[in-house]
Amino acid sequence: MRYFTPGPVHHRLGLVCLGVGMQHGALPPVGPRTLDHHVAVVISGGRGWCTDPGAPQGPRHEVVAPALLWLTPGVRHHFGAGPGRGWDESFVDFTGSAVTAYTELGCIEPDRPLVPLTDAEPARAAIARVARAARPGNPLLEVEAAAAVHELLVALRRARADTTSGGAPVLEALARDAFRPLSVADHAARQGMTPATLRAAVRRSAGCSPKDYLLGIRLGRAKELLTATDLPVATVARRVGYDDAAYFSRLFTRRVGTPPVRFRAIQSRTVPGGYAGRVPDPDRPPILSRGRDAAPHRRPPAARTTAPDHR
């Protein structure tokens, strides 16, 4: 276990890591106790128990790996590994102003102290990065640890057992039809759902409403078209699902902070040969050379001693 004391500048990062631990076996029970910060406890192997938050003397609930225990500020908690082999446990203590946003997005769930996971390995990998950052003399300890906490919250969100199976198809269907001029009710009908059921599914999976989820996809594509093409704004609006160009411009300006024409003037640039029609594989991005050097070695041209041949 390692504990950190980030400074005021580090707190402005939004999330700071206060401690990290990785341990296993028949560990002693934790609590009853109350903390003033958040802790994500990832159980990757074995089993144990926990009590209801705020009721440490209440009934015990079985914890079976892979699972997540959320410990929230000001709430009394009590948990422990089971008898015999115990469990594999890793944890991160954290706090910061970004906690509120992550909670609104559904990445932190104060009302669910015990969350089943489909896979604990991505979360353990993020916690391991915090542990590696804690090497003696690391000048970037707090920054690396903070970055890993952000990754941890995303990894835990992806691994939640209640959303992984049903959430992805719903979001994939919305993304596939995002540029069609459909209302939320239309999208729900296409998926055989009521609007309320669709809103609940998207909120659970993406932490936002269907309207905001679609808006993010549409505006992202609009930015690409404004940057990479000379299409009129009205055409861009239609391409991303808005028949009313004026409404699209107002929406774009309100969300992006600048009108579409101004965004194009700032961002656009001419690329020789044009932009690619698809996103390249991030594991094999296009580069000048895949040899030892990033750029090809070029021999400088020899000095001319005779007139050039124009044949």
User: By residue range, what is the domain housing residue 222?
Assistant: 163-267
Question: Do 151 and 195 share a domain, yes or no?
Answer: no
**pLDDT tens figures, 23-43:** 999 999 998 999 999 999 999
Question: Do 28 and 64 share a domain, yes or no?
Answer: yes
258 part of a folded domain: yes
pTM: 0.73
Q: Is the pLDDT of residue 83 over 70?
A: yes
Give me the CATH number covering residue 245.
1.10.10.60
* Structural domains of the chain, count: 2
Token duo for residue 193: 């759902």
- Are 30 and 79 within 8 A, CB to CB? yes
178 part of a folded domain: yes
Question: Do 31 and 133 share a domain, yes or no?
Answer: yes
For the chain, the distance separating the N- and C-terminal CA atoms, rounded to the nearest angstrom, is 76
Question: Do 93 and 236 share a domain, yes or no?
Answer: no
Question: Do 53 and 110 share a domain, yes or no?
Answer: yes
Question: Do 172 and 149 share a domain, yes or no?
Answer: no
Give residues with Cβ within 8 angstroms of 90, minimum separation 6: 20, 21, 22, 23, 41, 42, 44, 123, 124, 127, 128
288 part of a folded domain: no
Question: Do 19 and 148 share a domain, yes or no?
Answer: yes
292 part of a folded domain: no
Single residue among 159, 187, 216 that ends a domain in this structure = 159
307 part of a folded domain: no
Give me the CATH number covering residue 128.
2.60.120.280
304 part of a folded domain: no
303 part of a folded domain: no
Q: What is the dihedral of CA 39, 45, 47, 49, to 10 degrees?
A: 0
**pLDDT tens figures, 187-237:** 989 888 899 988 888 887 777 889 998 999 999 999 989 988 889 999 999
Question: Do 49 and 125 share a domain, yes or no?
Answer: yes
Give the residue-averaged pLDDT of 80-102: 94
Question: Do 168 and 134 share a domain, yes or no?
Answer: no
State the pLDDT at residue 289: 64
Question: Do 133 and 9 share a domain, yes or no?
Answer: yes
State the pLDDT at residue 270: 62
303 pLDDT tier (thresholds 50, 70, 90): very low
290 part of a folded domain: no
d(CA 114, CA 60): 12
